[in-house]
Structure 1
Amino acid sequence: MPLLLFDLDNTLIDRDRAFRAWTADFIAERRLPESELDWLATLDGGGYVTRQVFFRAALTRYGVTGRAREEQMAELTAQYREAMVERVCFPGENREALLAARRAGWTLGVVTNGDTAHQSAKIAAAGIDELVEAYVVSEEAGHEKPDPEIFRIAALRCGLDDEELSERLADGTAWMVGDHAPADIAGARVAGLDSVWLRHRRPWPQVTFHPTLMADALPEAVRLVLERQPQPQSRRPLRPGTPAQPSERDHQRERPTGTNPSPRYSGSPGAVAVNVATRPAS
């Protein structure tokens, strides 16, 4: 069972496009100059700056301080997350790439850092949960990329046990595709996976590690993986309308890390949560 894992933001979905749309509305509502778009985009850091830091800095810049700032931060964060789900963009060519990988016999999963409810809502809004076997969000998993454990959790949720995962790592049929070098590519490397880095018109930023492959866009990344490996036996497609898990587990954050809420898996503690996402801010 070959395994192909994906990052969510700016890999499967165009997170920055949704952010730019939200930013345009934010500026228009406050009658701010359009030049503030660039300032806010820089502060955003591609979603890797926490929303607390982002909104505190933004409100301070626009003259809101003290208790009023703290009150507006909570309100703006909630509005922002709702807007980002409404504006989620899952390009058709990315959907087709996932379908092609499934037809070729690959098991698909998502590994993302971030807030469980927010990331899960974006996955559901895009319909990605119906195309992958499982997904993992860092908050719920208790591990975030580049921690190797979150990749192991993803593999287990996708139906591989530890022995099968070791076999896939050994024969080069376990891959990670992502756009963020420290989280996605370094994480894949320390977990033993091959990787494809999405360039997005950027030079490779690291000197101590490198991806297995580089691609300009997700469809190219998937094509490169499929071309690199012998075609595995075709898998039975997911039943229409059958989403990847978790379901109610997204709302069970009081559960101690390391417990096993899923009847599907009964392995070692901490190895069996379903759907773990991992982008810190987004």
Structure 2
Amino acid sequence: MSRLVFFDLDGTLADRQTALSDAVTGLCRSRSLPPAADQWLRTELADRANAADFARLRDAFDLEWSAADLWQEYVDLMAAAVTCRPEVLDGLTRLRDAAWTIGVITNGASDIQRAKLVETGLADLVDGVAVSGDLEIRKPDRRLFELGATRCGVSLADGGWMVGDNPTGDIGGGHQAGLCTIWLRGRPWPEGLPAAHHVVDDVTDAITILLNETWE
């Protein structure tokens, strides 16, 4: 098996939920949006966000600004607010030192996901990134994993690992791509979905498992 690991971004390497709350608060304060708009944003962006959401926001509340301006401000606020814990960054550094190839496979709009990677420092620690917005396909589609492998300069046929918190997208997608999987428990597990190879409570535990892998 190849010494390759893919990580999910939101909810795995980075804390999206806290950043979302901060970004929505900042946007509403900056634009003096009403409480109803604040609640709308928190509901509509709970799982994902893209530029089209801000066109809907503009229409719903008859806002004077363009959807593009609102989206860009949200992207900037999210990138500034999102965090990756130092121990996670340290763990990724240890994986690199141990000759692992590290990729990120994430669902979302390309601009906001890449901005998060840069601002958290993760961009400097990964070999390749595949964002669903790059191809307009989403995990668990195998093609996104194939793109990730290509951008890491490796072949998916050589195997590897997928680490993430989404049972269907990360673990189910990893299985479809022929990868071993590590699930960060939390979300409900869908009936009929094959079990992950390992289950952990924190991404640092997943990194420890990988570092303890033996290679022939």
Q: Specify the alignment match of 2:202 in structure 1.
A: 217
- Cα gap change, 1:91/1:38 in structure 2, threshold over 3 Å: closer, same or farther? farther
Aligned pair partner of 2:112 in 97, 114, 118: 118
Contact 1:4 1:109 in 2 (8 A): yes
State which drifts further: 204-213 or 12-21: 204-213
Higher share of residues assigned helix:
2
More off after superposition, 14-23 vs 151-160: 151-160
**Alpha-carbon separation, structure 2, partners of 1:56 and 1:36:** 11
Determine the structure 1 residue equivalent to 2:147. 153
**1:19 and 1:147 mapped to 2: Cα distance?**
26
Letter in 1 for 2:10: D
What is the distance in 1 between the residues matched to 2:37 and 2:111?
29
Structure showing greater radius of gyration is 1
Offset from partner CA, 1:50-107 (integer Å, 9 cap, x none): 45336625863xxx23xx47x4433211210111122231210110111122233321
Matches within 5 A, 1:100-139: 100-139=94-133
TM-score (norm 1): 0.65
The offset of 1:231, in angstroms, is 5.0
Structure 2 distance, partners of 1:120, 1:82, is 11
Corresponding residue for 2:167? 181
Alignment length, in residue pairs?
Answer: 213
Percent of matched pairs sharing the same residue:
31
Q: Which structure would you say has the larger RCO, counting Cα contacts within 8 Å and 6 or more residues apart? A: 1
Post-superposition offset of 1:182: 2.5
Which amino acid in the other structure matches residue 191 of structure 2?
V
Question: Can you list the C-alpha shifts for 1:142-195, whole angstroms capped at 9, x where unaligned?
Answer: 54321112212222322223xxx43x43xxxx1111122222122111111111
1:226 to 202, 207, 211: 211
Gaps of 5+ in 1: 233-282
Deviations 1:88-139 (A, max 9, x none): 3121011011112223332111112233233222212222222111112223
- After superposition, the CA RMSD in angstroms is 2.7
Cα pair distance change 1:106/1:19, threshold 3 Å: same
1:204 counterpart letter in structure 2: P
The residue aligned with 1:255 is none
- Residue 241 (structure 1) aligns with: none
By how many angstroms is 1:203 displaced? 4.5
State the shift of 1:5 in Å. Answer: 0.6
In 2 relative to 1, CA 58–198 (structure 1 residues): closer, same or farther, beyond 3 Å?
farther
| TM-score, length basis structure 2 | 0.83
Aligned residue in 2 for 1:243:
none
